[in-house]
Homo-oligomer: A and B are copies of this chain.
Amino acid sequence: MRQVADQLPVSADDVAGAVSRLSGVANRTPIVTSRELNQRLGADVFLKAEQFQRGGAFKFRGAYNAVSSLSEAELARGVVAASSGNHAQALAIAAAVAGAEATIFMPRDAPASKRAATEGYGARVIEFDRYSDDREAIVQELVERDGLTPVHPYEDSRVMAGAGTSTLELLEDAAPLDLVVVPAGGGGQLSGGAVAASGVAERPRVVGVEPAAMGQWKASLAAGHPVRVEVGATIADGQQLRSPGKLTFAVVKALGVDVVGVADEDIVRAMRYLFERQKLVTEPSGASAVAAVLSGLIDVKGLRVGVIMSGGNIAVDRFASLMS
């Protein structure tokens, strides 16, 4: 395993280095425990509360780890990404902290609140058409023309290492764990977390959770390489990606990580549970790993299990409509 890990784009040392880099800048988010939850599941459950991260999701970890590794000259030219989601706000904050300008391409139909929040953190927002424009191409154009550094939401070893710090902190603060459950979208947090878990003595099992209606990880793991699935209807918009990343997939495959698919109705139930019993706000993707555990999809009986709540960016009105 150690030999496998040595050939991967991210090492356990990279994740540990990211923890140091994030110290005092990112929040070391709290771990929530509950007697009631432990009794219900017959397990010791540790919920890592990334909704309390800067920007309301784990994404700041990867974005800042990437931005803080840039040279003065690179920072002066700025960073760029295309994102309608939590990565947009995360990169905007990370760039502001590092004193760089962030340019964020956002789809024309992105919620006005997300655009306002991203601009509120000081980023320059440029609209694109998600149906006719190629987002990779428009990012690449600014990279080549103006020398901006692209910070991809997950296909970037610095972002993967940064995203893995949520798992590493959990492993440190709730040691020893038997199992860590991590939401899976593009795979930044899952791959970084799996690398982190491979570097601690107890070697906990890592399981990813994706929306069953998408299944990009299940299909790709079955095929042995990243495949592109049809877009399925799911409320978990943060994980609604047609394919895993190439880099993230390579890590997840090499480290033998399983990924399970959770149903939207179980996500809704988990969001309601977290609201009513734990007084915590989660967005659908943020509650997906909790949903897999609460629903019994992942059997945790008798285990010490860490579960990542990856974000809480949801408007009250959308929350209310999902719960109705």
Contacts and interface: CB of A to CB of B under 8 A. Distances in A.
A276 B316 contact: yes
B317 A279 contact: no
A323 B312 contact: no
Given A30-B30, A316-B272, A279 B56 contact: yes
Interface string A310-324: 001011110110011
A280 interface: yes
Interface range on chain A (Cβ under 8 Å from partner): 20 to 34
Interface string A179-200: 0000000000000000000000
Contacts of A281: 275-276, 279-281
A105 interface: no
A52 B323 contact: no
B30 A276 contact: no
Q: Determine how many copies of this chain the complex contains.
A: 2
Q: Which of A275, A316, A319 has the most CB of B within 10 A?
A: A316
Q: Which of A276, A281, A282, A312 has the most CB of B within 10 A?
A: A276
Contacts of A279: 51-52, 56, 280-282, 312
A36 to B, nearest CB: 9
Nearest to A30: B30
A100 B28 CA distance: 39
A295 B32 CA distance: 30
Contacts of A315: 276
A276 B51 CA distance: 10
A281 B320 CA distance: 13
Given A30-B30, A281-B280, A281-B281, A275 B56 contact: no
Interface in A24-50: 30, 32
Interface in A267-324: 272, 275-276, 279-282, 312, 314-317, 319-320, 323-324
B312 A317 contact: no
A323 B320 CA distance: 8
Given A279-B51, A279-B281, A320 B324 contact: yes
B30 A319 contact: no
A266 to B, nearest CB: 16
14 contacts: A30-B30, A51-B279, A272-B316, A275-B281, A276-B281, A276-B315, A276-B316, A279-B280, A279-B281, A279-B282, A280-B281, A281-B281, A316-B323, A320-B320
Of all A-B residue pairs in the complex, the 9 with the closest CB atoms, nearest first, are A320-B320, A279-B312, A51-B279, A279-B281, A316-B323, A272-B316, A275-B281, A275-B316, A320-B323
